[in-house]
Amino acid sequence: MNELEAFRAAAQKKGMPDDAIDWWLRLARPCLYLEKDGGGPVVGHFGGTPSLPASVAWPDDTVHLASIDLAALPDGALDLDLPSDGTLVFFVEPDMPTYTGQVIHVPAGATVAEAEPPSGWDPYDRFPLHATPNWSLPERPSVTPGYTWGDRDDEPDYRSIVWSLGDEHDADEVIVLGGHGLSNTGGLGVPVNEERGEVLLAEFFLTEEKVGDDFATDYATVYYTITRESLAAGRFAEVSLNADFHG
């Protein structure tokens, strides 16, 4: 059951009319869930070491989280203006809270080699990432373009349903590409200012099983955000980071 089907089922159970359900579902955005195990296509890998051109240095004080093959993403699965091919390589400083990291786009056809990790750091265990298309509903519709807080008197019901659906997500989802994003109990919420043209590029769910105690918590969430303008221009150096943790 995808997010739209789960919302409809929960809303009907709550007594929300079908026309109201349809109204709320128009706010949904497509996303991709990247999981360690799954039946979807392999679109990259978590951990291990990345492949980089000789001219591109491993960013200082960061660890490699994942490399995503853009050409392997299912057609039409995202509404992000991503390059059609090449690899997105995600790095982050392993600390909490962390606001330091980098995303590097390695063009298709570039001459690359397996990069050497920084001295004293062991790469995380590598595993493939399987992609499953899904949908994402905003937890705070009032900051979604086209909606103003107070437009509807059933917003409290909507928010409670979406929040309950968020509780059903677990660590099987290693990364979510696109969508509105999920918050957790650390208090940050979803740090994407859609009113200012920001979009969520990727959200990582980092459990102790994946990253040990590097993030000083047993469950951290790292968000990579970017403006639509920067994304369309391929300016991945302008990505911003935020991190949260489950208390």
Mapping DSSP onto H, E and C, the string for 10-59 reads: HHHHHCCCHHHHHHHHCCCEEEEEEECCCCCCEEEEECCCCEECCCCCCC
More confident residue, 116 or 70: 70
H helix or E strand, kind and range, residue 200: strand 198-207
Backbone phi and psi for residue 58, each to the nearest 5 degrees, phi listed first: -65, 125
Beta bridge pairs of residue 231: none
Kindly report the average pLDDT of the chain as a whole number: 90
Place of tokens 């999981």: 35
Q: Distance between CA atoms of 3 and 163, rounded to whole angstroms?
A: 12
**Coil, helix or strand at residue 101:** strand
Q: Which two tokens stand for residue 143?
A: 């900051």
pLDDT in tens, 165-189: 876 655 567 999 999 988 876 677 8
Strand partners, 76: none
SS3 category, 3? helix
pLDDT digits (tens, 9 = 90+) for 1-17: 899 999 999 999 999 99
Rounded (5°) CA angle 213-127-61 = 45
For 92-138, how does the pLDDT look when each residue is reduced to its tens digit (9 = 90+)? 998 877 788 999 999 999 999 999 988 878 899 999 999 999 999 99
CB contact at 8 A, 129 and 205: no
pLDDT digits (tens, 9 = 90+) for 27-46: 999 999 999 987 899 999 99
- Rounded to an integer, what distance in angstroms lies between the CA atom of residue 43 and that of residue 128? 8
What value does the mean pLDDT take over residues 225-242?
96
pLDDT for the residue numbered 48: 96
Residues 6 or more apart whose CB falls under 8 angstroms from that of 32 comprise 43, 73, 74, 77, 78, 131, 132, 133, 134, 176, 177, 178
Ordered domains of the chain (ranges, CATH): 30-134+173-245 (2.30.320.10)
Cα 93 from chain centroid?
Answer: 17
